[in-house]
Structure 1
Amino acid sequence: MSGSKFQEDSSDGVFPEKLGRDIEGGPVLAGSLISDEATLFASPLPITGNRKTTTRKELWSWYLYYVGNSGLGPFNFAISAWQNLLYLQGWDPAYPQGTVPCGSGACSLTAYGQVRSINSIVLISNGLSFAIQAVIFLFVGSFADYGIWRPWITTVFTVLGWAVSFAWLGVEQPSQWQAGTALYIIGLISYQGALTFWTAAFPGLARDLPEVKASEEALQRGEVDRKTHDDVDMLARNRLADVSFFVCSIGELVVLAILAGILEAIVNPNVADSNTKALSIVCAYSAGVWIVCAAPWFLWEQYRPGNQLPPNTSYLTVGIKQIYHACRLCRRLKQTFLYLGVYFFLGDCLNTVVTVIATLQNEVVSYDTKTLNYLLIDGIAAQAIGIGIFWLIQKKWTISTKTMLLVNAFFILMLCAWGCIGITQTKFGFHNAWEFWAYQAFYGVFVCPWYAVSQAMISEVVPRGKEFLFFALFSIIGKTSSFVGPFVSSAIIEDSGNVNMPFTFLLGLGAISTFALFFVNVDKSRRECRQYLEDEAVRVYKLAREQASAPPVEGGIDGLRA
């Protein structure tokens, strides 16, 4: 495939006024404008620079980055390190305050202005972290689709994550639990920020794959129909999402196997603070892994062009205009916002389920670092198997992303149902160590594919060229859901005194969300997204309606964007 077909006539981007000219600047020949079907995969907005072709080393460096930003430190072990400090500092509420250390039962500590259970403190801290993320992501995501500076967003969040992970080496005493709280909250923000904007890069990577570009050209020439190209495009997005998750899982197994050896050497059951020090070392170790895995992506990522700034707009004001335009025309994107609602509530269900189960798991295994590591290995090995099975099935039968997501949602509901069983008895329902081994396996095979499939689904229902804004918006919604769910669950626990009671709320929430997912129409969403972009071209870029809605020119699927 000739790369020249995807070059623009100027490094400054192709402007709307050039609609009547082909890619090389000559007049458009009769029949060179193609059908409206290709228009559905295009954007009428001008971009800054040339479209890139995804290279193999760029793609694999993107995969490798996920191994480092898998959340081993800031997401998996930081909560154990912090929660361990809370329990060591807390007291048994059955006795006068501060007189008896926490045992195997309930544990309390004064935090956020009053005496609270440790479970409640964890849920509230998660909620605060997610609320802060919502503000930051909305601010950054609103202007990230303009220019070519976007990779710096991931870089800044990544470096912050490294710093926080290393800082855990200085927080090993129970009296430092407030510092631990700050590190945990900041660590979550950095981890989720890096993950959000790293993920937002994948629609562009998939779109610029050589085979997808070839299919785009064939669609323009009328050699294939829209359904054929749609399948190529859909499978490319899912392949990137699924393979990245698979590579991450395999990489994590190697990382955790090395960690198991480290823990065998440093954990001494006869030393009182050995486990606490080990948890801090694990967080720092995760930062070292992250540095090694992130370096290739920072080196080989191509700076893909974003949208040009609209007339009379600067980077200081474009974010406000972007948000205003999105809010003003959001009713046009009915399918996008329907899925946004599903993503909010089903994400709320899953995020809170994982948090509640992790809290129960930490209590049952008494925060033993080696046990937690082996449980994590169990879960990650299972998730590698799970995402591999999901992808092979989808690829063989060309199953739509929505259908795969519905299957995934069913298994999320099964987790909630199992937690409900433990409300009235303790033989089953996340009360025993064996259940957490089984949970890690089940979660890995049947539930973890959600994190790949749901992202692929986002890419199918958002306007082209607006991925960073809408991925930030979906991330905010995901974090807001994690802000709402933990607070509701915390209130349920405080009111009922039963840590399993939130599963009833989560089961109902998940069931309603799954039902709503049936009504999301991807084909209708594509048409709504194209209309949204045409409206922006008219209202923001001041194009004539005929220019904004014109089919793309052969040689560049975006027409104006090339």
Structure 2
Amino acid sequence: MSSNGEHDGALPGKLRFQAEAAETVDELRTTNDSLPEEHTIPPSTEWATRRRELWSYYLFYIGNNGLAGFNFGPSQFQNLLFLAGYDRDKPPFSTPCVSSSVCVLPFLGSVRDVNSIVLITNGISFAIQAVIFLMIGAWADYGSWRPNITIGFTMIAIAVSFGWLGVEDPSKWKTGIALYMLGLIAYQGALTFWTAAFPGLARNLPEMQESKAKVVSGEKGLEDHLVLDSLSRNRISNISFTVSSAGEILILAVMIGILKGVKADESVEKNTRAFSILIAFAGAAWFVCALPWFIFEKRRPGLPLPPNTSFFTIGFIQAYQAFRECMKLKQTFLYLIFYFIIIVSYSTTQLTYLLLLGITTQMIGIYAFWRAQKYFALTTKTMLIFNVFWILLLTVWGLVGIWTDRFGFKNVWEVWAYQAYYGLMVCPWYAYSQTMISEVIPSGKEFLFFALFSIVGKTSAFIGPFVSSAIIDASHGNNNTPFGFLLALGVLSAILLVTISVPKSRLECEAFLKAEEENSGR
């Protein structure tokens, strides 16, 4: 072992890592008279990532864990709809909903099933997200005001969390719709633009700046620098998820105490009130965890605005140019297709059975994957392929249940086994999929492309349950039949992932940036 903890032997993984980096450098030199500018300019120590900034980045994700906007918020929303609704087979508002009745409410000009109301509001919020994220994502890549985007989304999400304290009565279910949609958009906005900051943090780590300085002076090869760059990105991504899991365990422990304190199980009214209190507590915890990031994040300069543009027009121009030049980013869009397909498979599996995540095993799994990657010097793509294999195995597990009642998510012990399996083998997807995004998108365009991937991921997760529901209905209620469809999608996505070339992607990204520069007249 070397002094920095990396393995010094000529391991197969390390050789593949170095070969990939060497291929990138060779092709960069083949297609250019010299190496791209970003590899020849000495680093600026002014923007170096210091320990307190890095740990404040990790701490932020403890707060932005989704408990408010992604877990308890939707639960409270559905709870209010059920309590406010009435039995479809009875006169309007004459008979409260029970578990065996079809619960309905008037919404958007029609009387609708409350489940339909949830799906419609999800669809509307996703559409709003798509427009906002594409425009703001482009803005964020210019100037130095990008931290304000994360701050803005975060403060809106926290305000929504406290807003739920005033929505405990079922008669306020329409207000609940507004809070639910606003909470989803704000939570996803804060998460997306916080995530997009990690490639910049990795590039400015002291060891990365030292490595780049040696490349510029000729003391070190670019191949070794690219290997360190990828490992640095994976380190930040994996450690942030590990720290978040540890913090979330503590928050959940406090929440259990809150539930006991308010005696949530005694009545429907107390249960509804408990939901609102938990959401507000999650918002308060988020605020405490977010403050250090707001203070210590450095406002690193983004790209200069192109001539004849402004912050009011750059979003539209960038979105147009990104789609116009998309064929130059074949590897990026291959990964985008993979990302869409695998999320349909993966998220629907999770939603179908509504199982709680095993947070403790998630923490262990993500950290164990990172330690293995670091020790064996494995590429991000290799780790992602390994992770996707276990996601496919999960769909096989469910598929078996089509032909037997003994196995396939049909036993209590399988619920516990699923939790452990999910945390250990599936949750690393969260970290590695984000790192892979950072390795196949143009440098300096992180916020625009992370916004694009966020939109694709959410659209995919939204479509998946509809497809699965249709398959279940067509099979006369067999809840395991969707796993055949999900397995086929998973295999297709795995094939796409294997065909993606990170070295080729770097070349395509260079071509994309050059074309954009020429088109903008810079």
Q: Which amino acid aligns with 1:331?
A: M
Match of 1:507 in 2: 487
Q: 1:311 to 1:109 in 2, by over 3 A?
A: same
**Which residues in structure 2 correspond to 1:395-414 (within 5 Å)?**
395-414=374-393
Match of 1:293 in 2: 289
**Stretch moving more, 34-43 or 325-334:** 34-43
- Residues 29-68 of structure 1: per-residue CA shift (max 9 Å, x gap): xxxxx996983582899x9x99611111001001100001
**Stretch moving more, 229-238 or 36-45:** 36-45
Displacement of 1:93: 7.0
Equivalent in 58, 61, 82 of residue 63 of structure 1: 58
- Residues 510-532 of structure 1: per-residue CA shift (max 9 Å, x gap): 22112211101001111111121
What's the secondary structure of 1:42's corresponding residue?
A: helix
Equivalent in 497, 504, 508 of residue 528 of structure 1: 508
- Residues 366-393 of structure 1: per-residue CA shift (max 9 Å, x gap): xxxxxxxxx55xx111110010111001
Q: 1:269 to 1:464 in 2, by over 3 A?
A: closer
Q: 1:316 to 1:209 in 2, by over 3 A?
A: same
Equivalent in 179, 185, 191 of residue 181 of structure 2: 185
1:216 counterpart = 2:196: no
Equivalent in 312, 317, 321 of residue 317 of structure 2: 321
Where does the alignment leave 5 or more consecutive residues of structure 1 unmatched?
1-33, 362-374, 543-562
Q: Which amino acid aligns with 1:229?
A: H
Displacement of 1:501: 4.5
In 1, distance between residues paired with 2:408 and 2:110? 30
In 2, distance between residues paired with 1:102 and 1:417? 37
**Stretch moving more, 123-132 or 251-260:** 123-132
Displacement of 1:86: 3.3
Displacement of 1:114: 5.6
Q: Which amino acid aligns with 1:183?
A: L
TM-score, with structure 1 as normaliser: 0.80
Equivalent in 48, 57, 60 of residue 53 of structure 1: 48
TM-score, with structure 2 as normaliser: 0.86
CA contact (8 A) 1:206 1:237 kept: yes
CA contact (8 A) 1:246 1:388 kept: yes
In 2, distance between residues paired with 1:434 and 1:239? 34
In 2, distance between residues paired with 1:102 and 1:500? 28
Match of 2:10 in 1: none
Give the alignment's Cα RMSD to 1 decimal: 2.9
Higher RCO (C-alpha under 8 Å, 6+ residues apart): 1
CA contact (8 A) 2:39 2:215 kept: no
**Which residues in structure 2 correspond to 1:171-250 (within 5 Å)?**
171-250=167-246
1:442 counterpart = 2:405: no
1:78 counterpart = 2:73: yes
CA contact (8 A) 1:143 1:315 kept: yes
CA contact (8 A) 1:38 1:226 kept: no
The percent of aligned pairs where both chains have the same amino acid is 53
What's the secondary structure of 2:298's corresponding residue?
A: coil
Q: 1:433 to 1:286 in 2, by over 3 A?
A: farther
- Residues 203-252 of structure 1: per-residue CA shift (max 9 Å, x gap): 00000001111111222233333331121000000000000000100111
- How many pairs does the alignment contain? 490
Q: 1:115 to 1:155 in 2, by over 3 A?
A: same
In 2, distance between residues paired with 1:94 and 1:419? 35
In 2, distance between residues paired with 1:435 and 1:95? 39
Where does the alignment leave 5 or more consecutive residues of structure 2 unmatched?
1-28
Q: Which amino acid aligns with 1:64?
A: L
1:312 counterpart = 2:292: no
Displacement of 1:491: 4.3
CA contact (8 A) 1:51 1:305 kept: no
In 2, distance between residues paired with 1:422 and 1:115? 36
Q: Which amino acid aligns with 1:59?
A: L
In 2, distance between residues paired with 1:384 and 1:459? 22
What's the secondary structure of 2:268's corresponding residue?
A: coil
CA contact (8 A) 1:40 1:527 kept: no
CA contact (8 A) 1:134 1:480 kept: no
